[in-house]
Amino acid sequence: MTYPGPVPIPPPTPPTPPAFPELRDSDDVQGNILAGFRKDRQSFLFVQLADQASGRTWLSELAPRLASTRQVATFNASFSRARRAGGGDPEDLGAVWVNLGLTAQGVQLLANTALLSPEPGDDPYLNGAHNRAAITGDAGPSAADNWLFGRSEQRIHAVLIVAADRATDLQSELARQRESLARHGATLVFEQAGATLTGARRGHEHFGFKDGISQPGVVGFDEEDEATPGQVKDRPGTDLVAAGEFVLGYPDQSGAASTLEWLRNGSFLVIRRLVQDVPGWWAQMIEQASADQEQGGLKPDQLAAKAVGRWRSGSPLDKAPEADRRSGRDSSQDNNFDYANDEDGVRTPRFAHIRKVYPRNSPTPGEAEAQRHRIIRRGIPFGLQFDPAEGRGHGVDGPRGLIFAAYMADIARGFEFLQQRWANAVDFPEEADGADPVIGPSSVATIHREDGPVRQVAFGQFVRTGGALYAFSPSISTIGRLSRGEL
């Protein structure tokens, strides 16, 4: 008798990717994830709920007010059309949007049965941002004990992002939300206001640099450019990335998709209050530039542009390495570049903020790897702009910075990886390149030149963490089910 041998085990059938509707029309994915709120005023409300029953009634009252992707995308399209036609922001078009995020504590409180693993392991969401300080490098003045929100003893279940075009609309919506929270016995643990800067600094962050230029394109949300497949139409240089990198339940860049039903159409949200020392940042540029004169000379403005990877106008160093030469006001090509012919970082240093956090096609780590660590940024500045002559609060007496808010499908692979493995790492992408001079720790960075020896520049740390929270922005249907006790 012959022995039959082991019976072959059929390979597991891969999960069938979920149906892929046009995400632009989604009534289920909350607004702000794929379609940004893009409002000049936004407030973040950090909420502690009283108990399960009152939390659910609060949620059922809130649910109809939450913005969907379809609503925000439709509004943004009409706003852009009106702007192009009228040459400025249309005064008569305004909206008020609300987005909800729940912390792991919040989901535990609201759900019927345990949706989350009882062991946090090394899951960032289950642990909470304060328990991840060793990963993100939040020590000393950035230590979690000093945070305004997200400290270990605070119990935050939910975060609301309320956004409006007009100050009066924002104030009435905030009043309504506070009243509803109070009526359901909830506590407002912290309220953080944000507003875009004004005048010539509109669209710029506090150090003075234009922000909001580069975002990933999302398959199923952004239209592909026929002439340059893989890129977004009318946004030259913007690569299309799989939706599953940002929204759960869709295939990501590796083809994998989360199969947990309640997570589908949701996205993880990282919020950080990043306090910026504006005079300190510029003083170091002036000091370092004058020290550099002996070596051939860089002006403070040039050094600061090297730290960021763009000029203050937003024009990328890759296109204008020596001076900000962008012609006129045409910003359409500001994202149309890569690092293919700049391996050593002669034009855009390898430590530059935008190259650290999105190395595009740099050989290290390579384009495929770079696309596995993308995030959608929805931050907004807070505090008054630095201008001591303007009076109280405009000098060193007032705090200012960026409310960094970003959506992603995986916090460990998204925000934490960018911060820990790339921005904070002196040896990424190559040995002794230096840490990210915007969000990394103090370090000595290496500037490469076309001909001539490399230069060393010592950058300090002028951004500190003053609050942080990890949340999950569930789909609108999951929020409904949580509110009805069906999950």
The DSSP bridge partners found for residue 469 are 271
Q: Tell me which DSSP letter residue 204 carries.
A: B
Q: What share of the chain is helix, strand, coil (3-state, %, to 5)?
A: 30, 20, 50
* Residue 389 CB neighbour total at 10 angstroms: 6
Of 124 and 249, nearer to ligand N7H (C-beta) is 124
Element (H, E) at 288: helix 278-292
Q: Using CB under 6 A, which of the segments 101-109, 195-203, 210-218, 322-330 binds ligand N7H? A: 210-218
**What stretches of 353-442 adopt beta strand conformation (E)?**
376-377, 380-382, 401-408
Mode of pairing for the β-strands spanning 41-48 and 158-164: antiparallel
Q: Using CB under 6 A, which of the segments 124-132, 160-168, 209-217, 468-476 binds ligand N7H? A: 209-217
Q: Using CB under 6 A, which of the segments 71-79, 124-132, 225-233, 416-424 binds ligand N7H? A: 416-424
Asked if 358 touches ligand N7H (CB under 6 A), the answer is: yes
Applying the rule CB under 6 A, the residues between 447 and 466 that interact with ligand N7H are 463
Of 68 and 214, nearer to ligand N7H (C-beta) is 214
Asked if 276 touches ligand N7H (CB under 6 A), the answer is: yes
- Residue 122 to residues 113, 132, 135, 225, 278, Cα–Cα distance (Å): 22, 9, 11, 40, 35
CA distance 457 to 465: 24
Instruction: Determine whether 319 is exposed, middle or buried from the number of CB atoms within 10 Å of its CB (0-12, 13-18, 19+).
Output: middle
In the complex, the smallest distance separating the C-beta of residue 415 from ligand N7H, rounded to whole angstroms, is 5
Asked if 212 touches ligand N7H (CB under 6 A), the answer is: yes
Asked if 144 touches ligand N7H (CB under 6 A), the answer is: no
Asked if 353 touches ligand N7H (CB under 6 A), the answer is: yes
In the complex, the smallest distance separating the C-beta of residue 304 from ligand N7H, rounded to whole angstroms, is 9
CA distance 487 to 476: 13
> What are the structure tokens assigned to 34, written together?
């794929």
Of 194 and 480, nearer to ligand N7H (C-beta) is 194
Tell me which residue has its CB nearest to ligand N7H.
Answer: 214
**Exposure string over 24-46, b if 16+ CB within 10 A, otherwise e:** bebebbbbbbbbbbbbbbbbbbb
In the complex, the smallest distance separating the C-beta of residue 406 from ligand N7H, rounded to whole angstroms, is 7
Q: Tell me which DSSP letter residue 99 carries.
A: E
Asked if 440 touches ligand N7H (CB under 6 A), the answer is: no
Of 90 and 212, nearer to ligand N7H (C-beta) is 212
Asked if 130 touches ligand N7H (CB under 6 A), the answer is: no
Q: Using CB under 6 A, which of the segments 45-53, 59-67, 362-370, 396-404 binds ligand N7H? A: 396-404
Asked if 474 touches ligand N7H (CB under 6 A), the answer is: no
SS3 167: helix
Asked if 469 touches ligand N7H (CB under 6 A), the answer is: no
Query: Alpha helices, DSSP H only, in 128-251?
Result: 133-136, 167-183
In the complex, the smallest distance separating the C-beta of residue 106 from ligand N7H, rounded to whole angstroms, is 23
Q: What is the DSSP string of 30-68?
A: BTTTSS----SEEEEEEEE-S-HHHHHHHHHHHGGGSPB
- Residue 150 to residues 285, 322, 351, Cα–Cα distance (Å): 32, 42, 29
In the complex, the smallest distance separating the C-beta of residue 172 from ligand N7H, rounded to whole angstroms, is 30
Q: Using CB under 6 A, which of the segments 31-39, 160-168, 322-330, 352-360 binds ligand N7H? A: 352-360
In the complex, the smallest distance separating the C-beta of residue 367 from ligand N7H, rounded to whole angstroms, is 13
Q: Using CB under 6 A, which of the segments 194-202, 221-229, 397-405, 445-453 binds ligand N7H? A: 397-405
Asked if 402 touches ligand N7H (CB under 6 A), the answer is: yes
Instruction: Determine whether 459 is exposed, middle or buried from the number of CB atoms within 10 Å of its CB (0-12, 13-18, 19+).
Output: buried
User: How many residues contact ligand N7H, by CB under 6 A?
Assistant: 27
Asked if 124 touches ligand N7H (CB under 6 A), the answer is: no
Residues of this chain that bind ligand N7H (CB under 6 A): 205, 207, 209, 211-214, 274, 276, 308, 310, 353-354, 357-358, 375, 377, 401-402, 404, 415, 418-419, 423, 438-439, 463
